[in-house]
Amino acid sequence: MKKSRRKFIKEIGMGSAGIAIGGLGFSAKSYANIVGANERLRVAVIGTNGRGLAHIGAFSKLDNVELAFVCDVDDKALAKGLDFAEKRTGKKPGASKDFRTILGNKDVDAISIATPDHWHAPATILACKAGKHVYVEKPLSHNPHEGELAVQAARKYNRIVQMGSQRRSWPVLTEGIKALQSGVIGKVHLAKAWYTNTRESIGTGQLVPVPAGLDYELWQGPAPRKPYRSNLIHYNWHWFWHWGTGEALNNGTHEIDVIRWGLGIDYPLRVNSVGGRYYFKDDWETPDTQIITYDCPNGTSVIWEGRSCSGRYVEGEDRGVIFYGEDGTMNTGGNSYTIYDKKNKVVKEVKSNIEIDGRNTSSPSEGLDIVHFANFLDSIKNNKLPNADVETGYKSTLWVQLGNIAQRVGHTLNIDQSNGHIINDTKAMQLWTRAYEKGWEPTL
């Protein structure tokens, strides 16, 4: 049974009627107006094996949204998505293994992308060209160039594109960021983000036949063709450069986005990274241990620490962000924040009563997911930029992509402040884009 709007809004707002649900003044009152509006938006969810189920769950909680289609290249995942959608809504949506077949459907208003990373930007661009609005999971893109194309596509075709940086819509965190920006801890000189987990080895994959029901050709899509391996699908692709972007973009994008939001910075000046695949000898290519450092133009340093296989908490949290300022410190763990003075005394603590599981690969919190999806729908209906607009998503994604590029070339990158590009570094700029399978190149 759906939770009542009144009860849901009360829980999200922590009982504080004035708390905004997003950086653009998306309040609980405006949320009530959204779900009570007359227009009905029809959405297609693309990818239903993991995160896509959270998309289905979030849309099913919102009024005046119809889950028109679910799409997945794997018959088993598609069936799972269909069953889940029917249980949540009481109606079985349309189904397609190839999302491109629904782009010409004039009754579909938006698509929600929960595919592997190498499909994020190409699918976003195709949808914008077809006149659809887009909710796309982080990271926005597999590489910076196609991220730039995604921004251009959204603007050229006048489409709303929201990236899945849910924290941009978390109400208590939004309140904390506003306090930070108002100078509650003074000038910030250091910001640190982290993500921890206890992931196991993925072993050594074998060349085996493609499983029945999986359209591996379509799964690869824009990526140059490689033979199917037994340890690739459905999750371990994250750790291969050819399809994934490692822990840094898989999870670090969230926290780096919070830091960039709090500091109000577009691009770093310099980026460096150290780390590697240390814990196991297997097919995993990206770092399981990584520290990315940034020097910023406002005199702030930024650190992201990723530990895929070492789960020890930092500040009692599996993931989070801390801002260190002249007059104190702000810890922003989950949908909460704590302010300390220079003597480490707690000055203010605002907690959320919504449970968050930072290591949940499907959804850290369905309630907080819903608020971000609601902001996306509100932005479509009112033709305004969403909280995590495509350009915001591009810049935050780029920060972490630059960290991975620095890791792969083995030296510090200097960044052009006008556009975020790497300065005078031919080797690094070779990783600005990628090779595409012939005929699959993303274009405007």
In angstroms, the CA 382 to CA 374 distance is 12
Measured distance between the N- and C-terminal CA atoms of the chain, rounded to whole angstroms: 43
375 and 401 housed in the same domain: no
**Residue 435 belongs to some domain of the structure:** no
Residues of the chain above pLDDT 70, percent: 89
Residue 90: predicted pLDDT: 94
In angstroms, the CA 245 to CA 249 distance is 6
Q: Which two tokens stand for residue 142?
A: 């597999």
Mean pLDDT, residues 272-286 taken together: 98
In angstroms, the CA 419 to CA 104 distance is 34
Instruction: Let me know: does 319 contact 194? Beta carbons within 8 Å.
Output: yes
**Residue 436 belongs to some domain of the structure:** no
Place of tokens 């289609």: 69
Sheet holding 41-46, edge to edge: 94-96, 65-71, 41-46, 110-113, 133-136, 161-163
149 and 76 housed in the same domain: yes
Residue 333: predicted pLDDT: 83
Residue 353: predicted pLDDT: 77
Write down the mean pLDDT value for the chain.
Answer: 90
Helices in 214-353 by DSSP H: which ranges?
A: 216-220, 246-247, 253-263
144 and 189 housed in the same domain: no
164 and 236 housed in the same domain: no
Look at residue 22 and tell me whether its pLDDT is greater than 50: no
31 and 147 housed in the same domain: yes
Q: Is the model more confident about 63 or about 289? A: 289
What pLDDT, in 10s, does the model give residues 161-170?
999 999 999 9
pLDDT band at 196 (very low <50, low <70, confident <90, very high): very high
142 and 191 housed in the same domain: no
Look at residue 107 and tell me whether its pLDDT is greater than 60: yes
Q: Which two tokens stand for residue 54?
A: 């959270």
Residue 360: predicted pLDDT: 63
**Residue 366 belongs to some domain of the structure:** no
What is the Cα 321 distance to its own chain's centre?
16
Look at residue 17 and tell me whether its pLDDT is greater than 70: no
Q: Which of 253, 291, 263, 256 is nearest to 189 (CA)?
A: 263
pLDDT band at 24 (very low <50, low <70, confident <90, very high): very low
**Residue 443 belongs to some domain of the structure:** no
Q: Is the model more confident about 422 or about 358? A: 422
149 and 179 housed in the same domain: no
CATH number at residue 183: 3.30.360.10
pLDDT band at 367 (very low <50, low <70, confident <90, very high): confident
Give the domain extent around 141: 5-168+371-382
**Residue 277 belongs to some domain of the structure:** yes
Look at residue 389 and tell me whether its pLDDT is greater than 60: yes
**Residue 222 belongs to some domain of the structure:** yes
Residue 18: predicted pLDDT: 29
Q: Is the model more confident about 95 or about 2? A: 95
CA atoms within 13 A on the CB side of 339: 19
**Residue 437 belongs to some domain of the structure:** no
Look at residue 9 and tell me whether its pLDDT is greater than 50: no
Look at residue 224 and tell me whether its pLDDT is greater than 60: yes
Lowest mean pLDDT among 74-83, 350-359, 374-383, 388-397: 350-359
Q: Which two tokens stand for residue 151?
A: 């921004």
Count of H-run helices and E-run strands, the chain: 13, 15
Domain tally, the chain: 2
397 and 311 housed in the same domain: yes
What pLDDT, in 10s, does the model give residues 30-55?
443 444 445 799 999 999 988 999 99
Look at residue 27 and tell me whether its pLDDT is greater than 50: no
Instruction: Let me know: does 358 contact 319? Beta carbons within 8 Å.
Output: yes
**Cis amide prior to 144 (ω within 30 degrees):** no
Place of tokens 């077949």: 101
Lowest mean pLDDT among 2-11, 227-236, 288-297: 2-11
Q: Is the model more confident about 13 or about 122? A: 122
In angstroms, the CA 418 to CA 381 distance is 32
Instruction: Let me know: does 200 contact 311? Beta carbons within 8 Å.
Output: no
CA atoms within 13 A on the CB side of 229: 16
In angstroms, the CA 161 to CA 167 distance is 16
Helices in 90-183 by DSSP H: which ranges?
A: 117-129, 144-156, 171-181
Look at residue 356 and tell me whether its pLDDT is greater than 70: no
161 and 193 housed in the same domain: no
In angstroms, the CA 90 to CA 96 distance is 19
Q: Which of 267, 264, 300, 265 is nearest to 177 (CA)?
A: 264
**Residue 84 belongs to some domain of the structure:** yes
* 436 C-beta neighbours (distance < 10 Å), count: 16
191 and 297 housed in the same domain: yes
What pLDDT, in 10s, does the model give residues 411-428?
999 999 999 999 999 999
CA-CA distances (angstroms) from residue 3 to 61, 90, 233, 377, 398? 8, 16, 35, 19, 37
| Residues forming beta bridges with residue 70, ordered by sequence position | 45, 95
Helix (H, G, I), strand (E, B) or coil at 236: helix
Lowest mean pLDDT among 37-51, 143-157, 375-389, 422-436: 37-51
199 and 345 housed in the same domain: yes
406 and 278 housed in the same domain: yes
Residue 358: predicted pLDDT: 57
